[in-house]
């Protein structure tokens, strides 16, 4: 526990602190940038882009070795991965636009082809006599042990630019994400905005290769964005919430990895992100499972209460045990089923509201207004006091509900 606390407070050593900060920055950038792709319902595009980076890493290594280097320059490797990721991105877009294949088929074809090609190239790289091949496979699942200050700077600068571009372009991107046809009618170039959206994801994927690897960067792009949707319906808020969740997952995951020996950083970060998703799924105040259960419970109580009061008004015996218990608990019915004075008064009010709605339908021919009646919505939430007074004038004086 002390080791985890030291890691969380950046007291576990220079390298652990560097990795935690770098992972937090990457998580924030990934969560923010992946939000609009999730809203566009193109989450799997990030998977194709990530797998398309692998051939670029191997080709960049070969090129740098051929030019006399050792092949381990991070900017060179990232540049190579960006090139092939861009090619893969354009291929997915071209296949989808120029053929009758659906997008998921195009993604599967590009993902499998590029990843297979990358594995073959990595095998070839391992047989080369020149260069420093050791650790190159870390781009698959991530490798933080050799993370340098320059790597953290690349993540910070690249991530900041990606987040800034996402925020600046959030309005047209959001419009395209929710209604591309409407965006096109307003004069937006939907194809260009789509490519820009996927380009931002590609940028975050490339800068995150060193830390979490091409396999797990997809999770860091998608899980925080999906989690953020539980907490807000506004795209601007979702972007920042997703960034915060991604940053938290990156920072906490890196700290946990540093505090326990032999725990890989990338997978731990993803597991923390998954934990945040599970908590949000259960406890989010509007979209969470618990909130949905409570809403259904409240709705059921309202239905049983209303049906019980209508039974009182019609002088019927309440035979539903749950309804009887509910009305007894509220003091509207005695345990033997006989309504109290409060129960009769409430029943009379329910019946009068039913009659008020009948008058409202006669007066208002607007189905959009009177159609809001569901038997549970109080009439005071739909009509003004003056309108309700007119309904009452037409109905005449209230009629009391007699004792059973």
Report the C-alpha gap between 27 and 151 in whole angstroms. 15
At 266 the pLDDT is: 80
79-107: buried (b, 16+ CB within 10 Å) or exposed (e) per residue?
A: ebbbbbbbebbebbbebbeeeeeebeebb
Mean pLDDT of 12-19: 81
Which residues fall within 8 angstroms of residue 378, CB to CB, at 6 or more apart? 353
- Asked if 57 and 120 count as a contact pair (C-beta separation under 8 A), the reply is no
Q: What digits encode the pLDDT tens for the residues 354-397? A: 888 888 888 877 656 655 666 777 788 888 888 888 888 888 87
Q: What are the residues whose beta carbons fall under 8 Å from the beta carbon of 385, sequence distance 6 or more?
A: none
Beta bridge pairs of residue 333: 339
Contacts of 165 (CB under 8 A, 6+ apart): 196, 200
Q: What is the DSSP string of 224-265?
A: HHHHHTTT-S-HHHHHHHHHHHHHHHHHHHHHHHHHSTT--H
* pLDDT, mean of residues 105-116: 87
- Rounded Cα distance, 16 and 20, in Å: 6
pLDDT at 247 exceeding the cut of 90: yes
Q: Is the pLDDT of residue 404 over 50?
A: no
Rounded Cα–Cα distance for residues 201 and 42 (Å): 11
Structure pTM?
0.78
Question: Domains, the chain, ranges and CATH?
Answer: 2-282 (1.10.3470.10), 290-395 (no CATH)
Residue 254 has which token pair?
């890196």
More confident residue, 222 or 142: 222
Q: How many other C-beta atoms can be found within 10 angstroms of the C-beta atom of residue 11?
A: 12
> Distance (Å, rounded) from C-alpha 227 to C-alpha 225?
5
Give me the mean pLDDT over the 9-38 stretch.
86
pLDDT at 149: 77
Pull the structure tokens for residue 121. Answer: 């190239």
Distance CA 194, CA 174 (A): 11
């Amino acid at each position: 526990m002390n080791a985890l606390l030291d890691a969380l407070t950046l007291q576990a050593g220079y390298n652990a602190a560097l990795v935690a900060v770098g992972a937090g920055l990457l998580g924030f950038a990934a969560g923010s940038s992946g939000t609009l792709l999730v809203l566009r319902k193109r989450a799997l595009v990030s998977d194709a882009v990530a797998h398309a980076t692998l051939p670029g890493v191997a080709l960049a290594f070969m090129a740098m070795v051929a030019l006399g280097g050792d092949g381990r320059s991070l900017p060179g490797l990232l540049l190579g991965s960006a090139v092939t990721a861009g090619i893969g991105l354009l291929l997915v877009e071209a296949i989808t636009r120029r053929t009758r294949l659906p997008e998921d088929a195009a993604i599967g074809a590009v993902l499998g082809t590029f990843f297979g090609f990358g594995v073959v190239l990595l095998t070839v790289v391992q047989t080369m006599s020149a260069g420093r091949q050791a650790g190159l496979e870390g781009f698959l699942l991530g490798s933080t042990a050799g993370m340098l200050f320059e790597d953290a700077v690349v993540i910070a600068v690249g991530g900041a630019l990606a987040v800034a571009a996402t925020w600046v372009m959030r309005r047209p991107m959001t419009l395209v994400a929710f209604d591309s046809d409407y965006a096109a009618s307003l004069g937006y170039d939907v194809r260009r905005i789509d490519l820009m959206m996927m380009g931002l994801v590609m940028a975050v994927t490339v800068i995150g290769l060193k830390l979490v690897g091409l396999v797990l960067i997809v999770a860091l792009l998608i899980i925080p964005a999906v989690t953020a949707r539980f907490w807000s319906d506004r795209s601007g808020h979702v972007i920042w919430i997703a960034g915060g969740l991604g940053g938290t997952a990156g920072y906490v995951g890196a700290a946990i990895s540093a505090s326990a020996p032999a725990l890989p950083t990338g997978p731990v970060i993803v597991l923390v992100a998954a934990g945040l998703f599970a908590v949000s799924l259960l406890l989010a105040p509007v979209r969470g499972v618990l909130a949905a259960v409570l809403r259904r419970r409240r709705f059921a109580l309202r239905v049983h209460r209303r049906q019980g009061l209508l039974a009182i008004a019609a002088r019927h015996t309440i035979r539903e045990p749950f309804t009887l218990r509910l009305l007894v608990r509220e003091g509207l019915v005695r345990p033997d089923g006989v309504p109290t004075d409060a129960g009769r008064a409430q029943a009379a009010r329910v019946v009068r509201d039913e009659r008020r709605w009948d008058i409202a339908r006669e007066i208002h021919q607007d189905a959009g207004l009177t159609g809001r009646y569901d038997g549970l919505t109080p009439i005071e939430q739909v009509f003004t006091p003056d309108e309700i007074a007119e309904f009452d004038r037409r109905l005449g004086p209230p009629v009391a509900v007699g004792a059973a």
